[in-house]
């Protein structure tokens, strides 16, 4: 349900469980779900969303902590399902508000997070957990179950209170032959289902995709063919957390007599962590530095870097823009071994076109099977519904089209429509006496990180930035004598981004002077009112004459 129809939720009934998301519903990212029981809170995941082109200058987008900001002392713990940025990236920002909130997650998840916390100079309380482990966190009993995903050590969590049982799948798929041999614990899902699952929160990302997701092993023949055909260097871009994908590339490089170098701060950091913890197996002598690789023949080189989503400052984008020490040419092969996150399409294709223009052979998901998803498709979701047999379903982790597709899958296996709950961020669901229903809405929004500023940028400010980028900027400066009712200096007009020469403004300069003098003669002495009259006049002129709507900033100074 969209929140516009809802009022504030009532006080939580005794013995009831409350669930609401502060991010992650209707979007791919910012995953954060809050569970409340007996006056205590449990948080599952706390991730970030990366900005789109319509959000210029923004570094990250956080969940809105507003609804729990005054209740942080009630938080028992933050439970992390896995180590992707959209699930752990906002934890440092929450810990700034209360640093001693316990963190629970797998060893790799917490290791990736610990590296981030060091950058924020935060020392956290954390507990490594393994699949099958059960932890008591205040009134919440939390069981961790292994799931297969595009990062090692991913978990689903079963949360039990006196109100009932909630199973949160986290991000998952059902690869039957994963590289690490760690399959999704369907036995555990079935065991919970037989005992009774009141609410299933389930990953929706691939709900529109029929069938089953291919195995990670299915890309091995494609990578082998890429290595066989490559005449020069191979540069592969991937998520900096996709340990399994990097493992395959390292093994393929060894098979074809190539050395590997990591490029990009997050890639170097994460692969170092994965190697130290034993998740990444590297044959001796395979990994070299970029400097060492530069001294080797191109046909013996592999670079693994960041930038598979077209991020402007990532390595691959800078290579495409010829703004990096690494350059590419006609003999080089570029592999984008990732999916397209919704909203990043234009950025990714811009990078692909830039690399193609430089003559490189670009291999990507659109022309080769160099990526398989980490999220369950429709067939896998249907399978999970049938073995869990949940009393209620809440689709999570997806845009609205994904949530609705997931709801349709749940209904197709016999779950009643009135027990399938579609919710937006901030929509509150209560489980009372075995029945789940929407009871209200807590206000949430987007929280922007812009450099050192957190939450300081508003939607209005972003609109101004877009206007500056798309329509340009005009400033008008004049000095007036209020006593003599005349313009004593200017007006001067300065413009950026309109593509007009200085002579184009001669007409409007005279018009601005007339407006100021007439206004002063009429007794207008408020500088704000004078500025508004100038803004309207210049806006009308530039719209009529040049069909543009730039940002207009008049400055009237009293002499």
Q: Are residues 152 and 32 in the same domain?
A: yes
Radius of gyration of the chain (CA): 28
Tens digit of each residue's pLDDT (9 = 90 or more) over 166-177: 999 999 999 999
CATH, residue 495: 3.10.20.580
What is the reported pLDDT for 212?
94
> Is residue 368 domain-resident?
no
pLDDT exceeds 70 at position 462: no
Q: Rounded to the nearest 5°, which phi and psi values hold at 533?
A: -65, -40
Q: Are residues 435 and 519 in the same domain?
A: no
Would you say 165 and 204 are in contact if contact means Cβ atoms under 8 Å apart? no
Q: Are residues 186 and 88 in the same domain?
A: yes
Residue 517 zone, left/alpha/beta (φ > 0; ψ -120 to 50; rest): alpha
Mean pLDDT within 6-30:
94
More confident residue, 267 or 498: 267
Tens digit of each residue's pLDDT (9 = 90 or more) over 522-551: 777 777 778 888 888 887 877 777 777 777
Q: How many angstroms separate the Cα of 117 from the Cα of each of 48, 92, 103, 105?
A: 14, 6, 12, 15
Domain that holds residue 13: 3-211+373-451
Mean pLDDT within 134-151:
96
Q: Are residues 98 and 123 in the same domain?
A: yes
Q: Domain count for the chain, please give it.
A: 3
Mean pLDDT within 349-354:
81
Q: Rounded to the nearest 5°, which phi and psi values hold at 66?
A: -50, -50
Distance, CA of 85 to CA of 91 (rounded, Å) = 10
The contacts of residue 39 (CB under 8 Å, 6+ apart) are: 74
> Is residue 394 domain-resident?
yes
**Using 50, 70 and 90 to split pLDDT, how confident is the model at 44?**
very high
pLDDT exceeds 70 at position 262: yes
Q: Are residues 286 and 435 in the same domain?
A: no
Most confident of 85-94, 337-346, 441-450: 85-94
Q: Are residues 126 and 145 in the same domain?
A: yes
pLDDT exceeds 70 at position 277: yes
């Amino acid at each position: 349900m969209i929140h516009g129809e809802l009022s504030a939720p009532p006080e939580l009934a005794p013995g009831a469980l409350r669930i609401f998301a502060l991010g992650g519903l209707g979007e791919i990212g910012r995953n954060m779900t809050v569970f409340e029981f007996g006056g205590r809170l449990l948080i599952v995941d706390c991730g970030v969303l990366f900005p789109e082109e319509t959000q210029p200058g923004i570094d990250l987008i956080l969940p809105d902590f507003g609804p729990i900001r005054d209740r942080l002392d009630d938080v028992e713990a933050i439970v992390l399902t896995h180590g992707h940025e959209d699930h752990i990236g906002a934890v440092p920002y929450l810990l700034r508000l209360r640093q001693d909130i316990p963190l629970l997650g797998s060893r790799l998840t917490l290791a990736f997070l610990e590296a981030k916390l060091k950058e924020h100079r935060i020392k956290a309380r954390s507990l490594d957990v393994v699949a099958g482990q059960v932890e008591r966190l205040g009134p919440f009993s939390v069981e961790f179950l292994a799931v297969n995903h595009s990062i090692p050590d991913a978990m689903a969590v079963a949360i039990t209170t006196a109100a009932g049982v909630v199973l949160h799948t986290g991000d998952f798929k059902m690869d039957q032959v994963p590289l690490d041999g760690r399959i999704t614990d369907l036995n555990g899902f079935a065991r919970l289902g037989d005992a009774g699952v009141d609410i299933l929160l389930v990953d929706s990302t691939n709900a529109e995709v029929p069938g089953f997701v291919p195995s990670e092993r299915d890309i091995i023949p494609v990578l082998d063919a890429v290595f066989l055909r490559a005449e020069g260097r191979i540069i592969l871009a991937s998520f900096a957390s996709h340990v399994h994908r990097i493992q395959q590339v390292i093994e393929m490089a060894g098979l074809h007599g190539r050395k590997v170098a990591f490029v990009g701060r997050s890639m170097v950091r994460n692969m170092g962590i994965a190697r130290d913890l034993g998740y990444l197996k590297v044959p001796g002598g395979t990994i070299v530095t970029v400097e060492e690789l530069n001294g080797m023949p191109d046909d013996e080189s592999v670079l693994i870097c960041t930038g598979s989503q077209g991020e402007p400052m990532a390595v691959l984008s800078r290579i495409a823009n010829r703004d990096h020490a690494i350059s590419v040419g006609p003999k080089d092969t570029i592999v984008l071994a990732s999916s397209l996150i919704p909203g990043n399409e234009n950025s990714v294709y811009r990078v692909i076109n830039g690399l193609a223009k430089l003559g490189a052979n670009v291999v990507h998901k659109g022309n080769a099977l160099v990526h398989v998803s980490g999220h369950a498709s429709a067939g896998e979701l249907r399978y999970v519904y049938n073995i869990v047999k949940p009393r209620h379903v809440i689709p999570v982790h997806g845009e609205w089209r994904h949530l609705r597709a997931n709801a349709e899958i749940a209904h197709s296996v016999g779950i009643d429509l009135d027990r399938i709950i579609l919710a937006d961020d901030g929509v509150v669901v209560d489980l009372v006496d075995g029945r789940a229903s929407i009871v209200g809405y807590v206000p949430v929004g987007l929280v922007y990180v812009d450099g050192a500023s957190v939450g300081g940028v508003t939607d209005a400010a972003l609109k101004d930035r877009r206007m500056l980028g798309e329509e340009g900027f005009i400033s008008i400066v004049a000095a007036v004598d209020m006593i003599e009712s005349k313009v004593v200096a200017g007006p001067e007009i300065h413009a950026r981004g309109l593509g007009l020469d200085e002579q184009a403004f001669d007409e409007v300069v005279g018009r601005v002077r007339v407006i100021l003098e007439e206004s002063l003669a009429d007794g207008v002495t408020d500088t704000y009112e004078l500025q508004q009259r100038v803004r309207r006049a210049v806006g009308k002129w530039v719209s009529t004459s040049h069909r543009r709507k730039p940002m207009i900033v008049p400055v009237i100074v009293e002499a």
